[in-house]
Amino acid sequence: MIINLRDLWDFADLEATEAHLRATLAVAETRGDNPLIAALLSQFARLDGLRGHFDAGQQHIAQSRAYLPTGPSWEGACVLLEEARLDYARGCISQAGQGFETALRAAEDCGAVDVAIDALHMCAIVSAPQEAIVWSERAEQKVLESGAEMREWLGPILNNRGWAHVDVGDLAQALRCFERDVALREETGSSETRQIAEWNSAHVLRLMGRLDDATAIQLRLAGEIGNNGKGIGYVFEELAEIATATGNDSQAATYARDALAIYRRTGMSEDSEPQRFQRLESLARCNA
């Protein structure tokens, strides 16, 4: 039985995700559905990778292979994908890239469209920016050929391609990607991801020197999110950069101090983000 594995995931709550996986695995074991057991065990490997439990992840990959059917299969493509994702999580980027391409070929061999799109998406993530753009375009084309059920992939694809365009200095193309992402998120009604896409657009507008447009978006986000809302630190950080660019050092210092306070309160530290903290601390002192 093929299921939508993404429905079992809540990346903001890995404990809940694990509970969903275990409940679904119990049903698969009761039914004796070995292929589904293999696919679910591969998801435990993904969970292990996110938690930094790489040995446990490799054990789950090995266990999953014992349940795979012979020949090309959706489940086999899932296992290859998650093995590569585990390599990526532990920092083996080149090995992961090869693994994602292997998973892509396996998915295409058996018509596993969802796995193929995911593999293309991951190929983009592990590639240099110019190559990432090409992989991302292939991923979007696959989504468009696959119908409405794969449309949810467009957001992540546009987000990553936008940042690849930023990396190669093509800000106009980056802005197009992020603005398309905003429109998509508005259509689906996802407020948090729409806010991220809007922040991305405003960030690029600042880089382009369109400071009034960038300010308008970030101030709207600040009002919508609120001082205790998720992501508000990033909004204040951008507002500090905009204020600096317009020569308003006093305002920049206020926003920088607010961003620093929020980051520290939510667990971010100088050790984890040294460049970000150094920059904000510099801005916070700029009117001293």
Give the structural domain span for 49.
Answer: 1-95
Position 68 pLDDT exceeds 70:
yes
Query: What was the pLDDT predicted at 4?
Result: 84
Whether 276 is covered by a domain: the verdict is no
User: In this structure, what DSSP letter does residue 183 have?
Assistant: H
pLDDT tens-digit readout, 148-179:
888 989 999 999 999 999 999 999 999 999 99
Residue 10 has pLDDT above 60, yes or no: yes
Q: What mean pLDDT do residues 125-139 have?
A: 97
Rounded Cα distance between 25 and 79, Å, is: 15
Task: Specify if 101 maps to a domain.
Answer: no
Q: Which of 3-7, 52-56, 268-272, 282-286 has the lowest mean pLDDT?
A: 3-7
Decide if 265 is inside a domain.
no
In angstroms, the CA 249 to CA 233 distance is 18
Q: Residue 288 pLDDT > 60, yes or no?
A: no
In a domain, 155, yes or no: no
Look over the chain and give the mean of its residue pLDDT values, rounded to a whole number.
94
Higher pLDDT, 258 or 190: 258
Total number of domains in the chain: 1
Please give the angle made by the CA atoms of 182, 244 and 201, to the nearest 5 degrees: 10
β strands within 59-207, DSSP E: none
Q: Is residue 233 part of a domain?
A: no
Helix, coil or strand: residue 90:
coil
Q: What share of the chain is helix, strand, coil (3-state, %, to 5)?
A: 80, 0, 20
**Percent over 90 (pLDDT), the chain:** 86
pLDDT of residue 11: 87
Q: Is residue 149 part of a domain?
A: no
pTM: 0.91
Picking from 97, 96, 95, 119, the residue whose alpha carbon sits closest to that of residue 106 is: 119
Count the Cβ atoms, other than its own, within 10 Å of residue 32: 8
User: Which phi and psi angles does 84 have, rounded to 5°?
Assistant: -65, -40
Q: Is residue 46 part of a domain?
A: yes
Higher pLDDT, 201 or 191: 201
Predicted confidence (pLDDT) per residue in 112-122, tens digit: 999 999 999 99
Tell me: the pLDDT tens digits for 91-100? 999 999 999 9
Residue 118 forms part of a structural domain: no
